Amino acid sequence: MFEGVYPAIITPFKAGEIDYDGLRENINFLIENGVDGLVVVGTTGESPTLSHEEHKKVIEKAVEFVDGRVKVIAGAGSNSTREAIELSVFAEDVGADAVLSITPYYNKPTQEGLKRHYSEIAKSINIPIVIYNLPSRTGVNIEIKTLKELSEEFSNIVAIKEANPDLSRVSETILNTNLTVLSGNDELTLPILALGGKGVISVVANIMPKEMVELVRSALNGDFERARELHYKLYPLMKVLFIETNPIPVKTALNLLGRPAGELRLPLCEMSEEHRRELEKVLKDLNLL
């Protein structure tokens, strides 16, 4: 299941409310351009500023709009195990194919706490779980030993979105666990694929899905020359989309391209003028503007 390109899609807003027509339009665009699945209400989808009701409705609407054409991975993490279970159960009930579950943030659990957290989630649902390791935002790094124990005990803990830039972790994970490794950083997708990873949960794919799909499929098919060519073509975009906190640049880019995105919710705000000019230059250099 977890092979290829899964865009971490934005949540479009209009006048402070979720733009569901825009969400449908973005989903159709991505599917038409060959993506393998979609990740909804993750970090890129501004999940921290959505109410629980909004969060659940976006999952439900995304499943409805996708209508079985590709897989839907629902963001369902929390720093409260009870809340993570509630969101995960809801996602399964409305037809999501899997959940993406971030390591608990701010409260910084121990490895034993992480193991118990994911164990309780795994026992509450039957659909697959993708663990999301993002220590730069959460303040905690899930260790390989913990991943090994979880993957051996629970058959529905099947993959990890690895956003720790330490590439040795990818080798350690593949050597010591049965988890599928997905890149959580666009710029590290090619090296992670070379090490045995199977795909990417991508921000860049919101902008250039066809090229990102071709990059990943080329690498998975062993054509690393073509994959490397596409990597360097997309590399400036990979960098500029993180020149400010994600998803500020990607929503700005989509607005510039006339695609549904809308405003950001505080505490996120519009890009600085200097960074916006840098973003525009990259989009022009790629002949997107």
Q: Which amino acid is at 42?
A: G
Q: Burial, 195: exposed, middle or buried (Cβ in 10 Å; 0-12, 13-18, 19+)? A: middle
Options 161, 233, 235, 239, the catalytic residue? 161
Longest dimension (CA), the chain: 50
CA dihedral 48, 53, 58, 60 (to 10 degrees): 140
Active-site hit among 6, 20, 118, 132: 132
Pick the closest to residue 190 from 164, 159, 160, 214 (CA basis): 214
Q: Which two tokens stand for residue 206?
A: 């919101």
44 is in an annotated binding site: yes
Cβ count near 93 (within 10 Å): 12
**Torsion angles phi and psi, residue 238, rounded to 5:** -55, -40
**Is 201 flagged in the annotation as binding?**
yes
Determine whether 108 is an active site residue. no
Length of the chain: 289
* Interatomic CA distance for residues 5 and 110, integer angstroms: 32
- 161: annotated active-site residue: yes
CA atoms within 13 A on the CB side of 61: 21
Report strand pairing: 4-7 vs 37-40. unpaired
What number of other Cβ atoms are within 10 A of residue 155's Cβ? Answer: 11
User: Residues at the annotated binding site for pyruvate?
Assistant: 44, 201
Catalytic residue list: 132, 161
Residue numbering of the annotated binding site: 44, 201
